[in-house]
Amino acid sequence: MSTHVQKPGWITVHVLNRAVAWFTRRGISVWGSRVLAVRGRKSGAWRTTPVNLMTVDGQQYLVAPRGHVQWTHNMRAAGGGELHLGKKVEAFTATEVADDDKVPLLRAYLKRWKAEVGVFFNGVGPDSPDEDLRRVAPDHPVFHITVTN
């Protein structure tokens, strides 16, 4: 497994993520945003972060554009969590997608959010050849989401 992580800068953490989370908590989705809540793998405490919920062929996915960050480690340990949009809370289970199956999902993700996250994919975009997407797939965890409530 890759250990790729791109840590967010101060502006992302203290301005952008907080702004998106603020709107999302009030029921206003910013380009598919949700607030992800997942139990910490060591503390058991709920941890939250804004994420982009993607739907492909009627199935829902979470993609980690910055790589193997804290929420991805917690998701693997917890096996699921909650997605919040305003007062609506959806509990879910999560199954990690194998690297070989990520190509169409990463392509769809980049088509939708390239302007926001493209910099984290080392020049690979939605129109890149499959082999380029396959090359970066291990660096970007993808989880299939199944709503349970």
Which residue from 15, 81, 79, 18 is spatially nearest to 53, judged by alpha carbons?
81
The residue type at 146: T
Four-residue CA torsion sign, 12, 56, 79, 133: negative
When computed from its CA atoms, the radius of gyration of the chain, rounded to whole angstroms, is 15
The pLDDT assigned to 59 comes to 97
Tell me the C-alpha distance between 69 and 89, whole Å.
Answer: 23
Q: Give yes or no for a contact between 52 and 59, defined as CB atoms under 8 angstroms apart.
A: no
pTM of this structure: 0.89
The pLDDT assigned to 49 comes to 92
User: pLDDT tens string for the chain (149 positions)?
Assistant: 677 776 666 666 566 767 777 877 788 777 778 999 999 999 999 999 999 999 999 999 999 999 999 999 999 999 999 999 999 999 999 999 999 999 999 999 999 999 888 888 989 999 999 999 999 999 999 999 999 98
Which residue from 67, 103, 90, 108 is spatially nearest to 145, judged by alpha carbons?
90
The pLDDT assigned to 8 comes to 62
Tell me the C-alpha distance between 28 and 44, whole Å.
Answer: 28
The pLDDT assigned to 135 comes to 96
